A and B are shown apart, each in its own frame.
Chain A
Amino acid sequence: MNSQSYFPNYYAVEDIFVTQEKVECKVNTKLLKMGFLDSGADTEDLNPGRTINLPLWYIKELKVNNPYFTVCVPEIYKNVHKAVCEAETTHIELGKLHPYFYEYGRYLTPYDRNHVVGKIVFETMRQRVRHLLDISKNATDTGKPEHRLDDIENKLYESGVKTSHLYVNWLRMKFNNIAASEMVQEHTKKRKRERRSDANDSPEQEHKRQTL
């Protein structure tokens, strides 16, 4: 599959995933007929003082200092702040905190009045990227540290592993073989599985090899 370099365009799936996230907001003014946004209230209007979760795709359409809502910066960025100060970000399980930690933070930066989110996002990446390089160079079969990486890190990790694999193959001059393309491999695997469940025979059965 052709992978594009990560830059959120209109069709970017990652960006759509990030903007689907909910943000906690405080309502500032009475908003007529918008009570449906608040699952806890049964009035038709949205009353000031309530806290509701709104999707990012709506929030980002509004001005930062709009009169309707105040965005509350999520706890996760506050906790990381502590870790950044203690300089131990490589041990944070970022993927567990938020699967799109950096992108989400990037969207929230303008709403943060203390101006820490931007710094946190930058610092965290700066400290972790080196570690990322190390683990992708020394990838083992024991599996990838999935839950510890955020989406962007995961992609970096995967392309790191792939590159180092290609490099090793090149050094060993093993790169000349033609292999079945990825999609074809997937497809045949699927077909084999189906056939196996259908007839319960083993397609791997070794026949005597014939040579013409």
Chain B
Amino acid sequence: MSKSNKMFADKAFELVKELQRSSQTIPPFDDDGVRQVLEEIKAIFEENCAQAANYSTSGDRTLWPLLNFRHAALQRNKRCLLSYLHQRLQRIKALRWEFGSIIPADIKTNLCEPEVTFFNKYSKSLASYMRSIGDGQGIDLTGDLRPPKSLYIEVRCVEDFGKFELEDGEVIYLKKNSQHYLPRSQVETLVRQGILQHIV
């Protein structure tokens, strides 16, 4: 065992801490950090195994505290690692509710492969759930988060969006800084996505 000032499980804690501290929507997946933690876990496990085997032949109890400590470190590493992944999944789930079913490209680059799969599957199950409720018609749970008071709202376009087709077939052109009077239910998503701005 190397004698260094670095404590066991510090690397795993770093992962959790960095994620918590970052101001980004979701920081890049720390491949390298996760790999290092996994290596540490493996190393500890092997040392413990060797020692346990040694104990069963010799019956020497003097190294128990060390075994105990390393086991605790192992558990700690595991906990931090799982928590890191869990926190990221929480944020990815939130993405679905806030951005809709398509993640902006610059956020997507920060996800790792399994996370993208998770997002797609989550998005799919949410969609099929929303279709299944509401007497066969389906309810969009991400809409109408606050009770609507009017059918139409006045909106201003914040960025160039392009053509937008309403449910009655009318096509309007959403140009930056243009103002429109549109059905609330149809534009709510765009407002939530920051493309339109609700003016009172």
Contacts and interface: CB of A to CB of B under 8 A. Distances in A.
B90 A2 contact: yes
A178 B188 contact: yes
A185 interface: yes
Instruction: Give the interface size class of chain A.
Output: 35 or more
B7 A68 contact: no
A17 to B, nearest CB: 8
Interface in A186-212: 186-188, 190-191, 207-212
Given A13-B20, A184-B192, A31 B95 contact: no
A12 B86 CA distance: 10
B163 to A, nearest CB: 13
B3 A33 contact: no
Contact of B16 (A16, A36, A175, A207): A16
B83 A13 contact: yes
A34 B65 contact: yes
B149 interface: yes
Contacts of A190: 24-25
Interface residues of B, number: 65
Contacts of B1: 33, 36
Interface string B62-95: 1101101100110110011011001100110111
Contact of B146 (A11, A32, A176): A176
Interface of A: 1-2, 10-13, 16-17, 19-20, 31-37, 39, 55, 57-58, 61-62, 68, 174-188, 190-191, 207-212
Interface of B: 1-5, 7, 9, 13, 16-17, 20, 23-25, 62-63, 65-66, 68-69, 72-73, 75-76, 79-80, 82-83, 86-87, 90-91, 93-95, 97-99, 104, 106-107, 146-150, 153, 156, 172-173, 175-180, 184, 188, 191-194, 197-198, 200
